[in-house]
Chains A and B, each alone.
Chain A
Amino acid sequence: MFKYVIRRIIQMVPVFLGVTLILFILRAPGVLPGDPVRLITGEKAISETLYQEIVEKHGLDQPLHVQYVRYLKGLTEGDLGTSYQKSRPVSDILLDKFPNTMRLAAVAILLEIIIGIAAGIISAVKRYSLLDVLVTLSTSILVSVPVFWLGMLMQVVFGIWFKRWGIPYLPISGMSSSDFPDWVHLILPAITLASVSTAYVARIMRSQMLEVMGQDYIRTAHAKGLSERAVIRRHALKNALIPVVTFIGIDLGVMMSGAILTETVFNWPGVGLEIFLAIGTRDWPIVTGGVVIIVLLVMIINLLVDISYAFLDPRIRYGGPAQ
Chain B
Amino acid sequence: MSDRFRKGLAIVLALALALTVFGIGGCQPDEDDGTGEEPTGDVQKGGTFAYYITEPAFIDPYNAQESEGTQVVQAVFDSLVTFDPLTLEILPAAAESWEANADATVWTFTLVEGATFHNGDPVTAADFKYAWERIANPDNASEISYHLAPIKGFDEMQAGEATELSGVVAVDERTLEVTLNYPYGDFEYVVGHPGLAPVPQAAVEADAEGFAEMPIGNGPFKLAEPWAHNQYIKVVKNDDYYGDEPNIDGVDFKIFQDEDTAFLEFEAGNLDFTHIPSGQIAQVIEQYGESDDGFTVAEGKQAVTGLEMAVYYYALNTKKAPFDDPKVRQALSYACPRQKIIDTLFDGIRQPADGMVPPNLSAYEAGAWPASVDDMDMAAQLLEEAGYPGGEGFPAFTIAVNSGVGHEDIAQIFLDNLTQLGLEVTLEPREWAQHIDALQNGEYDIARFGWIADYPTADNFLYSLFITDGSDNITFYSNPDVDAALTEARQETDEDARIAQYKEINKMIGADQPVIPVMYYSHIHVGSDRIRDGIYNAQGLFNFESVWLAQ
Chain A positions within 8 Å of B, measured between CB atoms, are 33-34, 41-50, 85-88, 92, 96, 171-175, 177-179, 267, 269, 273, 280-282
Looking at chain A's contact residues, is the secondary structure mostly helix, strand, loop, or mixed?
Answer: loop
Residues of A contacting B143 with CB < 8 Å?
A: 42-44
- A47 with B268: CB separation less than 8 A: no
Flag whether B89 is at the interface (Cβ < 8 A).
Answer: no
Flag whether B344 is at the interface (Cβ < 8 A).
Answer: no
Choice from B158, B257, B261, B434 contacting A177 with Cβ under 8 Å = B261
Flag whether B3 is at the interface (Cβ < 8 A).
Answer: yes
Residues of A contacting B260 with CB < 8 Å?
A: 172-174, 267
- A87 with B58: CB separation less than 8 A: yes
- B57 with A49: CB separation less than 8 A: no
How far does the alpha carbon of A41 sit from the alpha carbon of B142 in the complex, in Å? Answer: 9
If A269-B230, A282-B432 touch, whether A49 touches B159 (CB-CB below 8 Å) is: yes
- List 11 A–B pairs whose Cβ atoms lie within 8 Å, in order of A's numbering: A44-B3, A44-B7, A173-B264, A174-B264, A177-B265, A178-B270, A267-B261, A269-B230, A273-B257, A282-B432, A282-B433
Near A by CB (< 8 A), chain B positions 229-275 give: 229-230, 256-258, 260-261, 264-265, 268-270
Nearest opposing residue in chain B for A185, CB measure: B261
Choice from B1, B55, B141, B257 contacting A42 with Cβ under 8 Å = B141
Choice from A33, A48, A177 contacting B159 with Cβ under 8 Å = A48
Flag whether B349 is at the interface (Cβ < 8 A).
Answer: no
Count B-side interface residues using an 8 Å CB cutoff.
Answer: 41
Nearest opposing residue in chain B for A269, CB measure: B257
- B139 with A50: CB separation less than 8 A: yes
What is the distance, in angstroms, from B9's C-beta to the closest C-beta of chain A?
A: 7
How far does the alpha carbon of A197 sit from the alpha carbon of B6 in the complex, in Å? Answer: 45
Flag whether B138 is at the interface (Cβ < 8 A).
Answer: yes
Flag whether B392 is at the interface (Cβ < 8 A).
Answer: no
What is the distance, in angstroms, from B314's C-beta to the closest C-beta of chain A?
A: 22
Residues of A contacting B212 with CB < 8 Å?
A: 87
Nearest opposing residue in chain B for A38, CB measure: B433
Residues of B contacting A269 with CB < 8 Å?
A: 230, 257
- B264 with A171: CB separation less than 8 A: yes
- Known interface pairs A44-B3, A47-B138; 16 further A-B residue pairs with C-beta atoms within 8 A, sorted by A's residue number: A33-B431, A42-B10, A42-B143, A43-B10, A44-B145, A45-B146, A47-B158, A50-B141, A87-B63, A171-B264, A172-B260, A173-B264, A174-B257, A177-B270, A179-B268, A282-B433
Number of A-B contacts (CB under 8 A): 93
- B258 with A267: CB separation less than 8 A: yes
- A85 with B57: CB separation less than 8 A: yes
Nearest opposing residue in chain A for B231, CB measure: A96
Choice from B57, B160, B269, B433 contacting A34 with Cβ under 8 Å = B433
Residues of B contacting A43 with CB < 8 Å?
A: 3, 6-7, 9-10, 143
What is the distance, in angstroms, from A13's C-beta to the closest C-beta of chain B?
A: 35
Flag whether B404 is at the interface (Cβ < 8 A).
Answer: yes
Choice from B6, B17, B57, B258 contacting A280 with Cβ under 8 Å = B17
What is the distance, in angstroms, from B18's C-beta to the closest C-beta of chain A?
A: 10
How far does the alpha carbon of A96 sit from the alpha carbon of B269 in the complex, in Å? Answer: 27
- B138 with A49: CB separation less than 8 A: yes
How far does the alpha carbon of A273 sit from the alpha carbon of B54 in the complex, in Å? Answer: 14
Binary flags per residue of B135-169, CB closer than 8 Å to A gives 1, else 0 = 00011011101100000000000111000000000
If A44-B141, A48-B159, A50-B160 touch, whether A96 touches B268 (CB-CB below 8 Å) is: no
Choice from B141, B265, B437 contacting A178 with Cβ under 8 Å = B265
- A50 with B138: CB separation less than 8 A: yes
Flag whether B2 is at the interface (Cβ < 8 A).
Answer: yes
Residues of B contacting A174 with CB < 8 Å?
A: 256-258, 260-261, 264
Residues of B contacting A86 with CB < 8 Å?
A: 55, 57
Residues of A contacting B258 with CB < 8 Å?
A: 173-174, 267
How far does the alpha carbon of A280 sit from the alpha carbon of B433 in the complex, in Å? Answer: 11
